[in-house]
Amino acid sequence: MKRYALRQLLQLGVVVVGISMLAFAILHVIGDPVLLLLPLNAGKEEYERYHKLLGLDKPVYVQYWKFASRAVQGDFGKSWYTDTPAFTLVLERMPPTLYLTSAGLVAALLIALPLGILAALKRHSLVDNLCTMLAVAGQAMPIFWLGIMLIIVFAVRLKALPASGYGTWQHFLMPAFTLGAFLAPLTMRLVRSGVIEIMNMDYIRTARAKGVGENTVVVKHAFRNACIPIITVLGLQFGQLLGGAIVTETVFAWPGVATLTVESIRNQDFPVVQCAVVLLALIIVSVNFLVDMIVGLIDPRIRLG
């Protein structure tokens, strides 16, 4: 298990380094931030002075080495607009995004698990067809459209929930459901196919022949083995949930790191964007590492392979 964990950590470390290099290179291609920082009537000498002050006059590989050597120590530089450490800005906005993503993951599981199991047990019935229709409709719905519809119905018409903001549990309901609806269809279909496959296995028939109750067969024997691909996909989809949080935070005016990143990209505030990308990448690879460990514990054949 230790060798398996070490191998996974090395692979994830390479991924983080690759993401930081890619983000650094893309940011230096999209434009010159000095043009935004200086007034329109600034002269060439002032432009060159700011260019040198920000370290943009050096080759890209030199700039990246300087950035990486400081980032390892937790120093991502200061925001070019607020003169505040980028790490502090991103860290302040990280909890709302993580809370929202976690709430969306819980909402997706609450929707997908019962519907997926029910569709598998009622295979080819009206219930199964309705669940499949819901899955297809959920995958076809854009996140921003669903969020806007929820605001119109529950905030504007019914006045039951706040339309935007962050603070109470009521603020979580619509954004969490929006994110959950984004992930639930895929998870529900995985649960359905996994349970159907497991229910046809020999050990399930043996358990039934021994007189084990149907609920015990489904929950204890079938669902546990069906969880392995579900857990793996949830770990992979966690990154997509963080990506979906960008749209969700924008629709619901959620003060998270995704909104901060979009604003910083618009302003070409390189230190903040680089810090946000690296920290989000670390969170995603950490979740994937945790998922790999859980799957390895559930099925030892995976880590032995």
pLDDT tens, residue by residue, 105-142: 888 888 888 888 888 888 888 888 888 888 888 778 88
> Which residues, in sequence order, are bridge partners of residue 304?
none
Closest CA to 227 of 195, 273, 197: 195
Domain annotation for the chain: domains and CATH numbers: 86-304 (1.10.3720.10)
Task: pLDDT band for 151, please (50, 70, 90 cuts).
Answer: very high
Position 97 scores a pLDDT of 87
What rounded mean pLDDT belongs to the chain?
80
Position 4 scores a pLDDT of 65
User: What distance in Å separates the CA atoms of residue 106 and residue 183, rounded to the nearest whole number?
Assistant: 10
User: What distance in Å separates the CA atoms of residue 19 and residue 218, rounded to the nearest whole number?
Assistant: 41
- What amino acid occupies position 249? E
pLDDT tens, residue by residue, 39-85: 666 677 776 777 677 677 777 778 788 878 888 888 888 887 788 88
Using an 8 Å Cβ cutoff, are 205 and 267 in contact? no
Instruction: Show contacts of 291-299: CB within 8 Å, 24+ apart.
Output: 291/231, 291/232, 291/234, 291/235, 292/4, 292/8, 292/235, 293/5, 293/8, 294/231, 295/228, 295/231, 295/232, 296/1, 296/4, 298/224, 298/227, 298/228, 298/231, 299/228
